[in-house]
């Protein structure tokens, strides 16, 4: 399975989580309908205290937990993919890569984060709290039911609230997890060159275009450090403007556009061009 296929698999598993938007929308409408007086939203503090529990019960009944279990199973496949790539590029034994990563503190940190973000606690602390805030605002401003429904529809349905929270989080984590393994392999085996894999598209970021177009997708560690000093100095995405060409389009934007704050040489394979970046960074031995 290639990296693109892995991301597609992840996306396919979670694509249908957009059904949560419809479920949450209906559950919120039902909640508002039972808490209104004279066409206006009327919620007591006791009512608001139960809202998050009502929404969480809707999630549990939706089948979401089964989808996330399928998604989390993909991480063992990533371990296999990186092991195969390192055998191919650097002739490092598969088991050596797995042993290295299994003992890594970074692996535990990333998995703990994804379990939090997409699991029970994160869903309660972030996804549901933000959703419930729409209703709290409706009560605070004493909106009519129609106005409250319009606000909920805008956030949940029109803006694709679930996709924004769940799918983007999931896709980024897949790519960052795989990249983090490569960052650790670079250190453990003193790898000096980096291959930047996948094509440039119309929306590619400035740093990705620089590495792929100008450097032909292969850079030394020193070249990468120099590029990062220009595009994300000291881990801060550069505000300097640049005009560059992607596939067949000339664009002007900040050099650090799209990059994650804190991106440095040491974690570049993990962060790459930023959130939703589809490139892969694989460190290899120096050409001889």
**What digits encode the pLDDT tens for the residues 59-70?**
888 888 888 888
Q: What number of other Cβ atoms are within 10 A of residue 233's Cβ?
A: 14
Contact between residue 281 and residue 195 where contact means Cβ atoms under 8 Å apart: yes
Is residue 12 packed enough to be buried (19+ CB in 10 Å), middle (13-18) or exposed (0-12)?
Answer: exposed
pLDDT of 86 strictly over 60:
yes
Lowest mean pLDDT among 89-98, 129-138, 249-258, 269-278: 129-138
- The SS3 of residue 203 is coil
Q: For 126-140, what is the mean pLDDT?
A: 82
pLDDT at 115: 86
pLDDT of 3 strictly over 70:
no
Tell me 128's DSSP state.
I
Pairing of strands 241-245, 218-220: unpaired
The string of pLDDT tens digits covering residues 9-23 is 776 776 666 678 888
Lowest mean pLDDT among 81-85, 96-100, 138-142, 151-155: 138-142
Q: Which distant-in-sequence residues (6+ apart) come within 8 Å of 246 by Cβ?
A: 200, 201, 202, 203, 204, 209
Query: How many Å apart are CA 44 and CA 46, to the nearest integer?
Result: 5
The maximal CA–CA distance of the chain, rounded, in angstroms, is 80
pLDDT at 135: 83
Query: If you average pLDDT over every residue of the chain, what do you get?
Result: 88
Length of the chain: 288
Contact between residue 281 and residue 274 where contact means Cβ atoms under 8 Å apart: no
């Amino acid at each position: 399975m290639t990296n693109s296929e892995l991301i597609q698999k992840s996306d396919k598993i979670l694509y249908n989580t957009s059904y949560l938007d419809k479920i949450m929308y209906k559950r919120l409408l039902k909640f508002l309908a039972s808490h209104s007086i004279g066409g206006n939203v009327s919620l007591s503090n006791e009512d608001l205290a139960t809202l998050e529990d009502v929404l969480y019960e809707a999630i549990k009944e939706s089948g979401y937990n089964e989808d996330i279990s399928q998604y989390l199973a993909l991480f063992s496949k990533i371990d296999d993919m990186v092991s195969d790539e390192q055998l191919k590029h650097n002739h490092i034994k598969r088991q050596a890569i797995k042993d290295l990563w299994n003992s890594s503190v970074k692996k535990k940190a990333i998995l703990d984060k994804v379990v939090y973000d997409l699991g029970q606690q994160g869903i309660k602390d972030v996804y549901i709290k933000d959703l419930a805030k729409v209703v709290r605002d409706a009560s605070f401003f004493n909106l009519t039911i129609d106005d409250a429904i319009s606000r909920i529809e805008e956030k949940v349905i029109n803006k694709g609230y679930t996709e924004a929270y769940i799918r983007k989080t999931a896709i980024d984590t897949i790519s960052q997890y795989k990249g983090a393994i490569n960052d650790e392999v670079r250190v453990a085996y003193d790898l000096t060159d980096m291959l930047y894999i996948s094509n440039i598209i119309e929306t590619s970021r400035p740093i990705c275009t620089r590495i792929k177009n100008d450097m032909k997708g292969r850079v030394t560690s020193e070249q990468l450090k120099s590029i990062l000093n220009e595009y994300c100095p000291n881990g801060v995405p550069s505000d300097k403007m640049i005009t560059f060409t992607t596939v067949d389009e000339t664009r002007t934007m900040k050099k650090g556009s799209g990059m994650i704050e804190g991106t440095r040489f040491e974690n570049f394979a993990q962060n790459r061009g930023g959130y939703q970046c589809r490139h892969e960074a694989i460190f290899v031995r120096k050409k001889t």
